[in-house]
Amino acid sequence: MAQKYRIYINEKVILVTETKPKKKKGYELLDDEAFDLKIIYTWISARKNNLFCVVCKDAKTFLKQVKKSVILIEAAGGLVKNDIGEYLFIYRNGKWDLPKGKIEKEEKVKAAAIREVEEECGIKVSELNKKICNTYHVYINRGVLVLKKTYWYDMHCTGNFLLKPQIEEGITDVRWFKKEHIEPIITNTFPSIMDVLVEDGIVRRD
């Protein structure tokens, strides 16, 4: 199966793929050989279009080269489900989000995912299940371009915990949502979070 990855710059996406997207309309094609994320970031940020595409022979190798060209920060988080089938979301910086955070030095990825979810939401994770996917987004941190890779896991929470948002991390609300009631999430979340929901099968991509 051909590999493909999505790198997000705010609401814009760079699709890295080995085959041209089926819905080619709307995508601006980027040259894989001349690709420089530091230059592309500024150029894309100024464009009105939100869809960009890099077609290359080996998407995995291409992504590795991109990672080497900038500072890489790794984070981990989870999509948590409880005993009655509800999903846990947080509200941060005006958007619905999933709990996640940076992996500490010498910390295992799975341990970081559990720790961040528990710290940001005030719950205890009872089960860590499959990895859902990895997401990538680019931003400027103290004047330096950063690529953040986030590992997402399927988690389960057993018990009735008093949800407690981690205010110091900018989280103002933590709430359980039934699958049929997540429309407010879909209309006010980040594209990378939508990727997690799609990969887990909660929502379908148009």
Q: What is the pLDDT of residues 104-150, one digit of tens each?
A: 999 999 999 999 999 999 999 999 999 999 999 999 999 999 999 99
Look at residue 46 in the predicted model and tell me its pLDDT: 93
- Count CA atoms within 13 Å of residue 52 on its CB side: 25
Which segments of 115-198 are extended strands (E)? 127-141, 144-157, 171-178
CA pair distance 152, 109, nearest whole angstrom = 10
Q: Is 204 a residue whose pLDDT tops 70? A: yes
Mean pLDDT across the chain: 94
Long-range contacts: 31-37, Cβ < 8 Å, 24+?
A: 32/56, 32/62, 35/62, 35/66, 36/69, 37/7, 37/66, 37/69, 37/70, 37/138, 37/145, 37/147
Q: Is 24 a residue whose pLDDT tops 70? A: no
Q: How confident is the model at residue 159 (pLDDT cuts 50, 70, 90)?
A: confident
Look at residue 1 in the predicted model and tell me its pLDDT: 59
Over residues 178-192, mean pLDDT: 94
pTM for the structure as a whole? 0.93
Over residues 28-55, mean pLDDT: 94
